[in-house]
Structure 1
Amino acid sequence: MKLHKLLSLTVALSLLVACDTNDEALVPDEALQINGITATLSSTQAATRAETSLGVGRTAFADGDVIVFTTIKRTKYPLENFTYGNIQYSYNGSGWARSSNGTTNDPEKIYWSDVTSAHTFTGYCLPSSSYYWQTVTTDNIVTYKGELGYGVDDKGTIDFSTDNESIIAEDLLVSHSKNVKPETGGASAQVDFKHALSNVCVVVNVTGFATNSLDKKVDVTDMVIKNQPCVFTWGADTTTLSTFNVTDTSNNKIKNIKLWRKSVSGENEDKTFVFYGLTTPQNADYRKINGNSDKLSFKFTVTYPNAIDPTQTDTHTYQGTVSDEVLFNSGKCTTINVSLNHKNEKMLVDVNYTDWNYVSTPDLGELRKKSTYMTLTKDDVKIHSTDGVTIDNATWLYTNGNEVYDVYGNDGNTAATAYRITSAAQMLAFAQEVNNAYTFKDKYVRLDADITMQKSATATGYSWIGIGDANDDNKVFQGTFLGGDRYINRLSGSPLFVNLGDSACVEQLYITAIGEVSTGALAGTNAGIIGGCKVIDDVTLSGTTAGALVGTNSSTGTIHACYYTGEGNLIGTDSGTTKGCYQANQLTSLTNSALSTLVTTLNTNLTTWYSDTSNSGKFKSKFQFTYTIGNYPTVQVAP
């Protein structure tokens, strides 16, 4: 027999099976023996993620891994002779080899029914021999039952806190594909495995400290997700054999899950702590089992330096509940963002969902944090001074020698060290800086929380003053404002930026407005670059020259990959350059197909424009649109 060379992106297997002429004679001429299995593990990383990422759970196959194919057959009209089940392979560190499951009817060889038809491969891969995995046959239907934290008693705690290895030991992989075709030469098959369980990530951001060196000593530990159902099944759907069931309610075990915290350089300085673990795919209904609340609850411990004696510490245990329904989806990461204010011990919690297994590290631009509304006026905030104002007297910026820093120690000279805005008060201080003729030229400012300007949709107690002065060219923003994929909510009165200078750049900022905005929600006048921004819902404009995003885009102004979902125009008067933008009234009566075509057109125009050498230096980031049925096309950083 000739040994075929296997092609693979990750791991490859060369499998030789004993063959004789009698066996070969039983197979039609067009059938070809499968000599090898190439196993890959899905690990798609989102283009908008931070460059530094952490692989959680299984990112590759390891010694001792076992694949069991419960079904291999031709996808359409399978012939019985070419249907195989319970085919096992084991991994030896360099490739996969056939292994017996201990029965006498193990097929010695596996054949394609032909060399062109798509085949169905259904199977699972268990990470450790101690894992609980049971075959269940009912009414000739075979399903497979597993249990997260096998051996831990009901109401006990699954401990992932020691290291990622404990997560890997529980990380089940499953595969179901109807479209497996022979690789080159027809002797091998490539099969993709995906994470079956759900990854849970909890991000704790502690704020509200006095700005001094003791802040860095705060520590967050012992993160526990409470009352998680831990029994699950695979293959219960007799039609596709692909269903990974949430939980088995007839034999459910409720356990707590203690999460693992990855030590990341600079984590404590940012007062941001990130925890990881696994749980079962579930919704609120399964959390009601055995009398438990459908709300997701958690607890954690925070250690602070003692205010009187800094050599001593105080420890507090905090408990929280996510009020909205939290989903844990198979093969996805659910991130719970907790913002804890040390000053008043208020806790804000929200949730978002991403792919897995690449999870971003504590890059604050990736965290979804919320700020409270404005409770100050411009007279309540301080601007930095050149006479050596100390950090304790600064609302947001302070001077140290010849450099200006924010209260988090950033100098604003690069995107990585951008001045960070995390509250409505700091946004007000930012406006006061520009209105005092500090233009931020060659500096970076980064929005690091969703900012809500007014307490309610009808509140008018604290007016937004606007960044810049329309009547003074010295009071104009000339730096780079990184929106951080965040929102300015309930803006009213003045635009966020009264005017943007010819050196200004604003990216990935989203705005909602209430009441009237004079000329444009993001900017009254733009002479710089605005990219990847959007205005949500209707904006009431009071100016004669007004647009939802920008009132006037001047001759030097550039606006790209932006959109507006309300009634009216994106831009009031446009004398500059606008590329790849849209507004809601362009989408009226468009079919899904037409919307998809519009997105293709927008992306083509953007790609062509970005590649034009004459635009070199005009933009810091490139953007593309994506469209899903039932939603407006959304913008994201291009891969």
Structure 2
Amino acid sequence: MKLNKIFLFALMALFSACSSEDDFLVPDSALQIKGICASVSDELPMTRAIAKLSDVVGRNAFVATDRIVFTNIQRAENPLKAFTYSNIIYDYDGNSWERAEGNIPEKIYWTDGASYHTFIGYSLPSSTYHWETIDNSTGSCTFAGELGYGLTELDYTSGNEALMAEDLLVNYSDTTKAESDGLSTKIKFTHALSNVRVVVNIKDFAASSSAVDTQVGISNMVLRSQPCLFSWGANSKDLTVKDFSEQGTEHIKDLKLWCPKPAGEGTAQSKTFTFYGLTTPQDATFHAINGNDKKLEFSFTVTYPNAMNPNETLTKTYSGTFSGIVNFYSGQCTTLNISLNHKNEQMYMDVEYNDWNYVSTPDLGELRKKSTFLDINSTVTIHTDANANIYDATWLYKDGSQLKDIYGNDGTKEKPYRISTASQLLSFAKEVKGGLAFKGQYIRLDADITMQSSTARTTAEDTTSTTAPLSWIGIGDASTAFNGTFLGGDRFINRLSGSPLFVNLGADARIEQLQITCIGNISGKGALAETNAGVIGGCKVIDDVSVADGGGALVGTNTGSIYACYHTGTTQLVGTTSADGVIGCYTASDITSLSSDYLKGLVESLNTKLTTWYKDHLGFTQYQYVYTVGSYPTVVK
């Protein structure tokens, strides 16, 4: 719009109709806007405010060559269309803002110096940034852009400059007034995009603080498949992100994050690696596309010296998926915490939402180690596979004549094979099915294993759903028994479904201190084992479990010995058993109705039976029951 002269009745807000040949008079009460003072808001929670300079990510101030575009300036109440201005551009020279040249009004007037005005606009930090104005049928405008316009991926690894070049600032205010001089105004912009911070904690990655693999490096942190098209309206500062069906593959990009301290912070096992980037605001509505949640996938690279040859560097790529919906909020920070406890898959993950104030990283390595079994059809190796070596083995590999796990253990009592992930548990099952009985060898469970997501459903109509419970294949079968010693370490196998954990325990098998919870039906007659000819001690089945007819919560058919075990549910502990095959065990579905005197008496009775049995079985691990007020009697060594 180009005007020669404007006149304005400030109080009546009337536009005087004249011919195009007329000149307009400007009354004294009309004030021309001569100055704009734009800044980045430091108000929470609308911006990634910083607590200290080292936490700066993206822009916290304007710099020379920045440009702002006001897409709408008008009186907030009863605006006159003739005095509504669009696409007003200001350039910043590092000290002040100046009107840019172009097809713009020669002058901008307040309708008066006291009324509220609406200012809508944005600031583009990079000349390569793409934006466009889309007019719709109502006469209002939508403004659209793309993160990483013209790029196939977003690479922030070059540092904060790369983040600043993409950091979109947006202004929307319908309460803007003139300054005291009546000729200028102050405008504050807020961050429109979302900040993401990923913190990788390597606590317990190595076996000890002196091990060579504490010299670990984390790099190439990538967030997969982020949507990059967005738009915002003429009457809102909030961005809308198009869903995947509208984005198109060319607008779905991977984000390579920036690590300002590539060597990490801290020392040895206390190191953390922190990565930063920008992405589009996304919420639960965006993620639920065609009824399916879009999960956040990530990958990163781990390098560390080879324990077998310290002069050699090992490189592994880790990848994973956050099981729940991860939200990214406009102008705020989402922190993704990853604790890398063990080689290959062992990670613990959580998410924090906060403004960009410094938040100390929680020491996730101190939490109980967990592993989630996401895919029952996971490709794993067994030791006879050609690619099962120190670099690529899931669990076991052949080292000359010795069979070792990837942690360097040889299966002796002093160095038992360690299972730390669900995939390693699957590899163990396939080893036994392949004929490896593990006779005379020891295996230790080194993490709680959660077999599937807590969203798994058990109803018949959900059996084909991606959220249906996954069926476990079982360790061994009728013709191949496990005959080693499995040390549960008082850890859990959570949410077991399908086959019993062990299908067949041979006469030389020993299972100790293992806890099991189930989901859905067990296809066999016991959660821990279908048949047992060995020794099971100090084990528990927690809560109700559905097994085949004639079965038991712990074991279906027992011809061996089961001692110091219990079940907190309604199913009998063992289906069928030989005489004197079950010693010092109990089943109780609800102890709230039982008196403390009864429970104390139960503990005393069970311990008396166990003590008598231990006299004739000196080589067995000795467990005793402990009474706890208001809880089930538990076993301890």
Q: TM-score, normalised by structure 1?
A: 0.50
Q: Once the two structures are superposed, what CA deviation does each residue of 1:290-330 show, in whole Å capped at 9, x if it has no partner?
A: 99961111000111121022222111111111111111111
One of 178, 200, 222 as aligned partner of 2:174: 178
CA drift of 1:368 comes to: 6.5
Matches of 1:55 and 1:163 in 2, distance apart? 11
Q: Which residue of 1 aligns with 2:85?
A: 84
CA drift of 1:242 comes to: 3.4
Amino acid corresponding to residue 372 of structure 1 in structure 2: R
1:60 aligns with 2:61: yes
Question: For residues 582-597 of structure 1, what are the structure 2 equivalents within 5 Å?
Answer: none
Matches of 1:290 and 1:265 in 2, distance apart? 42
Residues 53 and 359 of structure 1 are in contact (CA less than 8 Å); yes or no, is this contact kept in structure 2?
no
State the secondary structure of the residue aligned to 1:331: coil
Query: Aligned in 2, Cα 1:454/1:318: closer, same or farther, shift over 3 Å?
Result: closer
Matches of 2:266 and 2:65 in 1, distance apart? 37
Q: Which residue of 2 aligns with 1:36?
A: 35
Question: For residues 245-394 of structure 1, what are the structure 2 equivalents within 5 Å?
Answer: 245-247=240-242, 250-252=246-248, 253-263=251-261, 267=265, 269=267, 270-284=270-284, 286-287=286-287, 294-342=294-342, 345-356=345-356, 363-364=360-361, 371-372=367-368
Q: Which residue of 2 aligns with 1:162?
A: 158
CA drift of 1:107 comes to: 1.3
Larger Rg: 1 or 2?
2
1:217 aligns with 2:215: yes
**Unaligned residue ranges in structure 2 (runs of 5+):** 9-22, 371-445, 448-489, 495-512, 515-637
Residues 33 and 184 of structure 2 are in contact (CA less than 8 Å); yes or no, is this contact kept in structure 1?
yes
Residues 126 and 173 of structure 1 are in contact (CA less than 8 Å); yes or no, is this contact kept in structure 2?
yes
Amino acid corresponding to residue 176 of structure 1 in structure 2: Y
Query: Aligned in 2, Cα 1:52/1:71: closer, same or farther, shift over 3 Å?
Result: closer
Question: For residues 116-515 of structure 1, what are the structure 2 equivalents within 5 Å?
Answer: 116-139=114-137, 140-152=139-151, 156-208=152-204, 209=206, 210-212=208-210, 214=212, 216-235=214-233, 240-247=235-242, 250-252=246-248, 253-263=251-261, 267=265, 269=267, 270-284=270-284, 286-287=286-287, 294-342=294-342, 345-356=345-356, 363-364=360-361, 371-372=367-368
Q: Which residue of 1 aligns with 2:100?
A: 99
Residues 284 and 295 of structure 1 are in contact (CA less than 8 Å); yes or no, is this contact kept in structure 2?
no
State the secondary structure of the residue aligned to 1:260: coil
Query: Aligned in 2, Cα 1:286/1:313: closer, same or farther, shift over 3 Å?
Result: same
Matches of 1:127 and 1:185 in 2, distance apart? 30
CA drift of 1:280 comes to: 0.9
CA drift of 1:73 comes to: 1.2
Pairwise CA RMSD: 4.0
Q: For this pair of structures, how many residues does the alignment match? A: 358
Q: Which stretch shifts more, 47-56 or 246-255?
A: 47-56
Residues 7 and 26 of structure 2 are in contact (CA less than 8 Å); yes or no, is this contact kept in structure 1?
no
Amino acid corresponding to residue 93 of structure 2 in structure 1: N
Residues 205 and 271 of structure 1 are in contact (CA less than 8 Å); yes or no, is this contact kept in structure 2?
yes
Residues 50 and 56 of structure 2 are in contact (CA less than 8 Å); yes or no, is this contact kept in structure 1?
no
State the secondary structure of the residue aligned to 2:220: strand
Amino acid corresponding to residue 219 of structure 1 in structure 2: G
Q: Once the two structures are superposed, what CA deviation does each residue of 1:119-159 show, in whole Å capped at 9, x if it has no partner?
A: 1100011011111112222323321211111112xxx4221
CA drift of 1:373 comes to: 7.7
State the secondary structure of the residue aligned to 2:61: coil
State the secondary structure of the residue aligned to 1:166: helix
Amino acid corresponding to residue 364 of structure 1 in structure 2: T
Query: Aligned in 2, Cα 1:359/1:91: closer, same or farther, shift over 3 Å?
Result: farther
Amino acid corresponding to residue 212 of structure 2 in structure 1: L
Q: Once the two structures are superposed, what CA deviation does each residue of 1:54-92 show, in whole Å capped at 9, x if it has no partner?
A: 110112212221111111111111233432211110111
Matches of 1:308 and 1:61 in 2, distance apart? 53
Residues 232 and 239 of structure 2 are in contact (CA less than 8 Å); yes or no, is this contact kept in structure 1?
yes
CA drift of 1:30 comes to: 2.3
Q: TM-score, normalised by structure 2?
A: 0.50
CA drift of 1:231 comes to: 0.4
Amino acid corresponding to residue 246 of structure 2 in structure 1: S
Matches of 1:373 and 1:260 in 2, distance apart? 28
Amino acid corresponding to residue 244 of structure 1 in structure 2: L
Query: Aligned in 2, Cα 1:310/1:61: closer, same or farther, shift over 3 Å?
Result: same
Amino acid corresponding to residue 322 of structure 1 in structure 2: F
Residues 39 and 193 of structure 1 are in contact (CA less than 8 Å); yes or no, is this contact kept in structure 2?
yes
Q: Which residue of 1 aligns with 2:70?
A: 69
Residues 216 and 268 of structure 1 are in contact (CA less than 8 Å); yes or no, is this contact kept in structure 2?
no
CA drift of 1:224 comes to: 0.6
CA drift of 1:175 comes to: 0.4
Amino acid corresponding to residue 84 of structure 2 in structure 1: T
Task: State the identity as a percent.
Answer: 47
State the secondary structure of the residue aligned to 1:212: coil
CA drift of 1:286 comes to: 3.8
Q: Which stretch shifts more, 207-216 or 283-292?
A: 283-292
**Unaligned residue ranges in structure 1 (runs of 5+):** 1-17, 375-422, 425-452, 463-639
CA drift of 1:35 comes to: 1.2
CA drift of 1:332 comes to: 1.1
Residues 7 and 27 of structure 2 are in contact (CA less than 8 Å); yes or no, is this contact kept in structure 1?
no
